[in-house]
Structure 1
Amino acid sequence: MVSKPDFLVGNGEDQFRPEFQVESPEGELHLRFFIPSHQEFALLATGIREVIELTPDRITPIPNASPLLLGTLNLRGRVIWVADLGQFLGDGTALNTDRGEIPVIAIEEQETIVGLAVDEIGGMDWLDVKNLASPTNIPDTMAPFLRGEWMLNAESTQCLRLLDQTAILRSARWAG
């Protein structure tokens, strides 16, 4: 004879136990990631089309293209540019493409899609933009693409910087 599982036992009334209640998150969902110099950034999840990890041979190099661009990628039948995000932001450390997989964040606005190659994906987090501070100690090359930063802890100067994906997509740097 088979007995009822524990979750089917009861008098039929809805019973809410505290251990099964989920708190509603505060803020908005963001993707956290690192560029090669170990700086941490975030992008608002709603502007991200997808995040993929792919082998370097899936990125086709383009001769005489901007040094910011690693090449192109076929994303579900659509060819998109893939850029080294750290180099795009003016960081001096180039992305290591001699490895098994490269994380690429495909960002989209209207009909424009660009792949941003990063060093490492940190995960998803609910972050409240009300707690954003003005960015400090940033290079001029990075300033136009930042919306602000969160201080991760009071003891250190470690921060999480929020990127403005619209400013990245509309940047004149793509033409150079």
Structure 2
Amino acid sequence: MVGNPDFLTASAGDHAPEFQELESPEGELHLRFFVASGSEFALPATGIREVLSRSPDQITPIPNASPLLLGTLNWRGQVIWVADLGQFLGDGAVLNTDRPEIPVIAVEDQDTTMLGLAVERIYGMDWLDLDDLQMSANVPDSMAAFLRGEWVIDEGTNQYLRLLDQVAILRSARWAA
């Protein structure tokens, strides 16, 4: 087509381009993911440094560390701790580490503290409207301090998408336990 001499000289009427009107997204961009129990959560994209997929042998276990921590990994020359997010939130199911790769969400607080949150599965990015966010109801006390609210996906089946506060997770006293 570019080699065609008429390509550059054709008038706009000859080849009117078809433009599709793009809709402006509502809300803010979030990463949606699942923990081992199947519960779905979201984190604001602005607090995520990177989403990694690492094999379990790239996560080095550290003896005598908190049971919430899977170990450390080398990310671009920086050592970051990797935690089982579901366990941290008080979820009963343990993350399956006997698989080829583990999704890890690297979150940070003001470019100083970084933590890798290991999850079961990444759903993807989605524009979510914060105006539709509701106060979390019927959540365990172990999780409540780390939630900003939830969106109701299906009230009949009790499906909720819970919005996490990555700063509260990073600054939690649970890491010292």
State if a TM-score over 0.5 links the two structures.
yes
What is the aligned residue count? Answer: 172
**Identical aligned pairs, as a percentage?**
65
**1:151 shift after superposition:** 0.5
Q: Which amino acid aligns with 2:138?
A: N
SS at match of 1:108: strand
**1:42 shift after superposition:** 0.1
**1:136 shift after superposition:** 1.3
1:56, 1:8 → 2: CA distance?
Answer: 58
- Cα deviation, 1:81-126, whole Å, max 9, x if unaligned, reads 0000000000010100010000000001120000000000000000
1:84, 1:153 → 2: CA distance?
Answer: 26
Whether 1:2 and 2:4 are equivalent positions in the alignment is yes
- Cα deviation, 1:117-156, whole Å, max 9, x if unaligned, reads 0000000000011100111111000000000000013543
The aligned residue for residue 150 of structure 1 is: 151
The aligned residue for residue 161 of structure 1 is: 162
SS at match of 2:64: coil
SS at match of 2:57: helix
SS at match of 1:33: strand
Alignment of 1:129-140 (within 5 A): 129-140=130-141
Alignment of 1:73-112 (within 5 A): 73-110=73-110, 111-112=112-113
Give the direction of change, closer, same or farther, for the CA distance of 1:30–1:10 in structure 2 (3 Å limit).
farther
2:39, 2:10 → 1: CA distance?
Answer: 51
1:4, 1:158 → 2: CA distance?
Answer: 57
Give the direction of change, closer, same or farther, for the CA distance of 1:69–1:11 in structure 2 (3 Å limit).
same
The aligned residue for residue 31 of structure 2 is: 31
What TM-score comes out, normalization by structure 1 length? 0.91
Give the direction of change, closer, same or farther, for the CA distance of 1:20–1:175 in structure 2 (3 Å limit).
same
2:10, 2:120 → 1: CA distance?
Answer: 49
2:140, 2:11 → 1: CA distance?
Answer: 62
Give the direction of change, closer, same or farther, for the CA distance of 1:16–1:140 in structure 2 (3 Å limit).
farther
The aligned residue for residue 171 of structure 2 is: 170
1:31, 1:4 → 2: CA distance?
Answer: 46
1:27, 1:130 → 2: CA distance?
Answer: 8
Whether 1:121 and 2:122 are equivalent positions in the alignment is yes
Alignment of 1:35-74 (within 5 A): 35-74=35-74
What TM-score comes out, normalization by structure 2 length? 0.91
Give the direction of change, closer, same or farther, for the CA distance of 1:58–1:154 in structure 2 (3 Å limit).
same
SS at match of 1:142: helix
Give the direction of change, closer, same or farther, for the CA distance of 1:154–1:16 in structure 2 (3 Å limit).
farther
**1:2 shift after superposition:** 2.7
Instruction: Name structure 1 gaps, 5 residues minimum.
Output: none
What RMSD in Å do the two structures reach over aligned CA positions? 2.0
